[in-house]
Amino acid sequence: MIGLLGVHFALTPTRKADGFLLIAALAGILVDQFMVWIGILEVDQPWIPIWLILLWGHFILCLNHSLLWLSKLAWYWVAFLGEVFGTLSYWSGLKLGVFNTELSQPSFILSYAIAWTILLPILSYWAKITRERYILK
């Protein structure tokens, strides 16, 4: 995953914008770490695993590329898509046994639905700012 990030930055024409956008991955990392601290997400260690941190980096970079279309939507649609698909990704990970939870399935889903409803519009807006600052001058 680290190698793929390197390849991305070696080949992308939007290196500055992507580098600045990568900072936004910290928001997702902190949300997941908070979920670990309060017991919603169990990863058998006190910190989220490195693969999840790197996954956040890859996801964030998609906001300037394959998920660029999100920036054309109203914030409430972005929130809705985050609520549905962000939550679905964590629920899928739970079902695949990638991590665990002591919460009931509905409580787990509700927790991530709330988080992603808030998080994706913020991340999408951050991506828009980076494009305006570094690409669309």
For 62-72, the pLDDT digits (tens) are 998 999 899 99
Collapsing DSSP states into helix, strand and coil, what is residue 42?
strand
The confidence band for 136, taking pLDDT boundaries of 50, 70 and 90, is: low
Tell me, rounded to whole angstroms, the distance of Cα 18 from its chain centroid. Answer: 14
Domain with 95, as residue range(s), is: 2-134
Task: List, for residues 118-135, the tens digit of each pLDDT value.
Answer: 999 999 999 998 888 887
**Contact of 58 with 24, CB cutoff 8 Å:** no
**Contact of 72 with 128, CB cutoff 8 Å:** no
Polymer length in residues for the chain: 137
pTM of the predicted protein model: 0.88
Collapsing DSSP states into helix, strand and coil, what is residue 43?
coil
Collapsing DSSP states into helix, strand and coil, what is residue 49?
coil
Using CA atoms, how far apart are residues 5 and 9, in angstroms rounded to an integer?
Answer: 6
- The domain total for the chain is 1
C-alpha separations of 32 from 26, 74, 97 in Å? 10, 25, 16
The tokens describing 66, both together, are 């394959």
